[in-house]
Amino acid sequence: MWDALSQPQSLDEICTHLVSIYSVEVDQCRQDVQAWLHQACAKRVVVLMP
């Protein structure tokens, strides 16, 4: 996840990257990444850009 966040990317770009590395369905990846980002933002670990 941190590698995917090393430069600004859209959710789709992050999921494309993760799906290419791990055996996970795109829809599941999207749900998991969104949940992770929500928690990371709440804890101020990451900041989402518009």
Query: Does 50 have pLDDT greater than 90?
Result: no
Distance CA(39)–CA(33), nearest Å, equals 10
> For 6, which DSSP code?
S
Q: How many residues does the chain have?
A: 50
Quick one: pLDDT at residue 47?
84
Q: What is the pLDDT of residues 3-37, one digit of tens each?
A: 888 888 899 999 999 999 999 999 999 999 999 99
Cα 40 to Cα 20, 35, 46, 48, distances in angstroms = 23, 9, 6, 10
